[in-house]
Amino acid sequence: MFTLHVHMNRNRQRVLLGMSGGVDSSAAGYLLREQGYEVVGVTMKVWPQDCISRAEDKCCGPQAVADARSVAHALGIPHYVVDEADQFERVVIDYFASEYQAGRTPNPCVMCNEKLKFGNLWNKARVLGCDYIATGHYAIIEHVAATSSSHHRECGEGTASTYAVLRKGVDPRKDQSYFLFSLRQPQLRRALTPLGTMTKPQIREIAHSLGLKVADKMDSQEICFVPGNDYRAFLRSHLGDDEFHRGEIYDVAGNFLGEHDGIELFTIGQRKGLPGGSPHPRYVVDLDPATNRVIVGYADDLMVEEFEIDRVNWHSVAVNAYADCSASPLDEGERIEVRGIRFQNGEYLEPSSCHLPWEGRGDDIATRAENRVISFEATVKIRYNHPGTAATVTPLENDRARVRLHDPQRAVTPGQAAVIYDGDVVLGGGWICRREALVPA
């Protein structure tokens, strides 16, 4: 039972800060305090019991709790630990394993942000009377005040006095807006990310000036619950070898090359673990969960010109939701309606009077086909460390969209997120779907 009693001055807005024990969330606490917020620190205990001894230095480990508590004490803010291990197991780890079993490559950070950090944690924030949740993400969440009540009605904003725009952080090496694309308007409107306008060196300088012992703590480059970044070993311990889906390896011409011990052991673009005997490097170019086949090819076979994404989450700057702009296709029983799309009932939506970000700039960016589906030009990132590439995006029915890349990209991986940008503004994003099988069964 989560029971906390915090006595603070309610003349100021109160923020629940997620503290991972790293330098980023630590500096975020200081910045929020300097901006006049009352800050309450919280660290989520998310490690399952069988992970503790193997991940003590991760953000899911005991050392992280100790570091966060030490920083909170130095900043003079209260600090609490909340047990989210069961939810983390169900929402993040089970998703992680099941995606590999389905021949997809998961992105657990996106899921953790949406479902836990900006999801379940809000229940704790409300108990504490907090107005916002804050994290140490390098992204900008701009809280935009509406200019008039009529603008709200026209744009589907309901009675909210602000709406939120998600933007890239100013430090291009650290920008984490990609990981926040699936957040919905209610989550974004109550979120603060004070590091978005700063660079990593500036953050470390702040931590040094405060004498925080985490000032030089290294950033983790690994998935927090996967020791040594060895996801295969983690899957073996979590699933057991009997749950791996064994099958056969073929080349793109349909030639049988050998057998494999589990489709879970492969990802698109992988070279290791493949049969030899080829004069040129070979890569995994497709995974077929229906037949448990691993398809291999050469570098050219990894290039993709077009793909689709599903479970698309359009942001308020890119949608007109007539019922509630805060709705999301990820919420059961709710949906957002992208203007101009024909839905299953065959009806069209009337164009909104609100300008979409790619409209009205005199450069003919937006095009409308006869069926009134809008295609628009944008920049799309197909993975977190991808620089982004120009693409034409076409919203489709059933919360999907088609992405046509102007320049073919290597290793477009099913299960990863494709995030759509207009400059530094996040328009939305979705999950990359598997293409039609390269080798028929």
pLDDT band at 205 (very low <50, low <70, confident <90, very high): very high
Among the listed residues 60, 109, 130, 224, the single catalytic one is 224
Q: How far apart are the first and last CA of the chain?
A: 52
Q: What is the percent of the chain where pLDDT is above 70? A: 77
State how far the Cα of 375 lies from the Cα of 164, in Å rounded to an integer: 24
Extract the tokens encoding 169: 């952080």
326 has pLDDT over 80: no
- What's the half-sphere exposure (Cβ side, CA atoms, 13 Å) at 131? 11
Pairing of the two strands 139-145 and 162-168: antiparallel
363 has pLDDT over 50: no
Contact 417, 178 (CB under 8 A): yes
pLDDT band at 179 (very low <50, low <70, confident <90, very high): very high
Number of Cβ within 10 Å of residue 272's Cβ equals 7
When the pLDDT of each residue in the chain is averaged and rounded to a whole number, the result is: 81
State how far the Cα of 4 lies from the Cα of 13, in Å rounded to an integer: 18
State how far the Cα of 70 lies from the Cα of 26, in Å rounded to an integer: 10
Contact 167, 315 (CB under 8 A): no
Rounded to an integer, the average pLDDT of 256-283 is: 92
User: What is the DSSP annotation of 306-319?
Assistant: EEEEEEEEE-GGG-
* Residue 177 or residue 223, greater confidence: 177
Task: Answer yes or no: 112 catalytic.
Answer: yes
Domains and CATH numbers, the chain: 14-219 (3.40.50.620), 244-297 (2.30.30.280), 303-432 (2.40.30.10)
199 has pLDDT over 50: yes
pLDDT band at 225 (very low <50, low <70, confident <90, very high): confident
Phi, psi of 328 (to 5 degrees): -145, 145
| β-bridge mates for residue 284, sequence order | 296
Q: Which pLDDT score is estimated for 316?
A: 77
pLDDT band at 222 (very low <50, low <70, confident <90, very high): confident
Buried b (16+ CB within 10 A) or exposed e, 13-27: ebbbbbbbbbbbbbb
- Which amino acid makes up residue 320? N
374 has pLDDT over 50: yes
Query: Which residues does 253 contact at the CB level (< 8 Å), separation at least 6?
Result: none
Would you state the torsion angle of the CA atoms of residues 166, 308, 250, 254, taken in this order, to the nearest 10 degrees?
Answer: -160
Task: Answer yes or no: 354 catalytic.
Answer: no
Rounded to an integer, the average pLDDT of 40-52 is: 76
Contact 431, 416 (CB under 8 A): yes
CA distances from 274 to 97, 271, 343 (A): 22, 6, 44
Closest CA to 64 of 182, 220, 192, 207: 220
State how far the Cα of 300 lies from the Cα of 218, in Å rounded to an integer: 37
Among the listed residues 59, 112, 155, 325, the single catalytic one is 112
Closest CA to 415 of 199, 16, 101: 101
Q: Which pLDDT score is estimated for 352?
A: 33
pLDDT band at 224 (very low <50, low <70, confident <90, very high): confident
Residue with tokens 């197991």: 89
Q: What would the pLDDT profile of 231-261 be if each residue is shown by its tens digit? A: 999 999 889 888 999 999 999 999 999 999 9
323 has pLDDT over 60: no
Contact 56, 62 (CB under 8 A): yes
| β-bridge mates for residue 191, sequence order | 133
CA distances from 187 to 64, 348, 393 (A): 25, 29, 25
pLDDT band at 385 (very low <50, low <70, confident <90, very high): very high
pTM of the prediction?
Answer: 0.83
Rounded to an integer, the average pLDDT of 219-224 is: 78
Query: Which residues does 380 contact at the CB level (< 8 Å), separation at least 6?
Result: 388, 389, 390, 391, 393, 403, 405, 418, 419, 420, 421
* Sign of CA pseudo-dihedral 405, 406, 407, 408: positive
268 has pLDDT over 60: yes
Q: Which pLDDT score is estimated for 5?
A: 40
Rounded to an integer, the average pLDDT of 342-365 is: 36
359 has pLDDT over 90: no
pLDDT band at 400 (very low <50, low <70, confident <90, very high): very high
Q: Which pLDDT score is estimated for 278?
A: 84
Give the H/E segment covering residue 43.
Answer: strand 38-45
Would you state the torsion angle of the CA atoms of residues 255, 256, 261, 266, taken in this order, to the nearest 10 degrees?
Answer: -10
Residue with tokens 């006049």: 36
Q: Which pLDDT score is estimated for 59?
A: 55
Extract the tokens encoding 311: 């479970």
